[in-house]
Amino acid sequence: MPELPEVEVSRQGILPHIVNKPITDVVVRCPKLRWPIPAEISSLKGAQISSVERRAKYLLLNSQEGTLIIHLGMSGKLRVIDSSVPLIKHDHFDLCFEDGLVLRFNDPRRFGALLWQSSSNQEPHPVLSNLGPEPLDESFNAEYLAQSCCNKSKAVKLTIMDNAVVVGVGNIYANESLFLAGIDPRRPASSLTHDEYSRLVDVIKEVLNKAIAQGGTTLKDFQQADGKPGYFAQYLYVYGRGGDDCRKCEEELQEIKQGQRATVFCGNCQT
């Protein structure tokens, strides 16, 4: 389940293999992922990727013609492989390069997306508008978070998962960050002290940086671009551990639902 670290690791993994090489073919095998794949992406044929950026969990493959926007959804994977590698189930899309390499997108659950932003369109793509700051930017700091949370009655966990507040904090890292900050995920966002906003910002940055350095969290299906698994899962304190013992105080971890998603926390360590 790719979250921001996994997307960043994918970006770093594919980047050196796909920039500044003529694209010889654009192959769409499955016309619809989360949304229909726009026909305009075929304008990449003959073009070259000049850079690969990341905004939130979106990968942006820039070219002169426009930008291919890729979202990995929850089961999407990008591999850079030789074009002779046989197709496997759910290989939905290929970007073929002149040197025989292929950027291949595989996504069993099809929650992923391929979108197109033409160079001629000055408006930002709808999925990229209304996004909050990047969590690893300096603009995401205690003052900003406190400001964003004032008057917010909804739970702090749901607030840090809100892309309008800060992008890229999905369920795994929201759970982990709140545990590390010692904050009860059910508390109203506006109820935190300045010290708690500060701690929360710090641990979010820390946990994301650590996950990137470890190559992302491997649960069921995340792999790096070269196929190696990430190594972060063994560092998880609470995610997926409801009913197990807290790694800090050994009290039983509680599991509840917030916004239809699992929240796991320690009633003793998180107040």
**Active-site amino acid positions:** 2-3, 57, 261
- Any contact of residue 187 with DNA (CB under 7 A)? no
Secondary structure of residue 42 in the 3-state scheme: helix
**Given the complex with DNA, which of 78 and 96 has the nearer CB atom?**
78
Site membership for DNA, residue 27 (CB under 7 A): no
User: Binding string to DNA for residues 89 to 128, with x set by CB under 7 A, is what?
Assistant: xx-----------------xxxx--------------xx-
Alpha-carbon distance of 97 to 14, in angstroms, equals 13
- Of 99 and 137, nearer to DNA (C-beta) is 137
The dihedrals phi and psi of 127, each to the nearest 5 degrees, come to: -70, -15
Stretch that binds DNA, among 36-44, 179-187, 206-214, 255-263 (CB under 7 A): 255-263
Cα distance between residue 192 and residue 202, in whole Å? 14
Q: Between residues 22 and 259, which has the closer beta carbon with respect to DNA?
A: 259
Please identify, among the stretches 16-24, 67-75, 140-148, 243-251, the one whose residues bind DNA according to the rule CB under 7 A. Answer: 67-75
Query: 110 is written with which tokens?
Result: 């099809």
CB contact at 8 A, 169 and 230: no
Using the rule CB under 7 A, which residue among 67, 75, 148, 218 binds DNA?
75
Which CB atom, from 171 or from 177, has the smaller least distance to DNA?
Answer: 171
Nearer to DNA, 171 or 270 (CB): 171
**Nearby residues of 171 by Cβ (< 8 Å), 6 or more positions away:** 161, 239, 261, 262
34 binds DNA, rule: CB under 7 A: yes
What are the φ and ψ backbone dihedral angles of 264, each rounded to 5 degrees?
Answer: -120, 135
57 binds DNA (CB under 7 A): yes
Question: Is the separation of the CB atoms in 165 and 159 below 8 Å?
Answer: yes
83/24 Cα distance (integer angstroms): 12
Strand 254-258 and strand 101-106: pairing? Answer: unpaired
Query: Residues in the site for DNA, rule: CB under 7 A?
Result: 1, 3, 32, 34, 56-58, 71, 73-75, 89-90, 108-111, 126-127, 152-154, 158, 161, 163, 170-172, 220, 239, 259-262
